[in-house]
Structure 1
């Protein structure tokens, strides 16, 4: 059974298959329209900050270390 979803841009029905290179979009046009909306900041992921604990320098250093381990392209070559 093939999953059918609605294109986020035009609402057209789209089959969710690996052959569909634009999924969840129906076409490259709809994909680019959506990308433009994100670049234009028409789309946003917003959620109130949930910081009950204050971040210490030690916590920030640990987070930065973890980030750099998983994102090697930010590390300067030696």
Structure 2
């Protein structure tokens, strides 16, 4: 039957797919940041996204400043 992928298996498969598409391989941290930004762009509150992503206050604010299109 089906079984869930481990974190390393998931990242390995994503990396292989991105290379096949001619993109730079994604790393776990990059996927985390992209997911966070997507949730924010969809309108989820900052505090909810911060908790979901297990972000510390300082790092969360740092990435928000780096991506100032989110208001």
Scaled by the length of structure 2, the TM-score of the pair is: 0.25
Question: Which of structures 1 and 2 has the bigger CA Rg?
Answer: 1
Which of structures 1 and 2 has the larger relative contact order (alpha carbons within 8 angstroms, sep 6+)?
A: 2
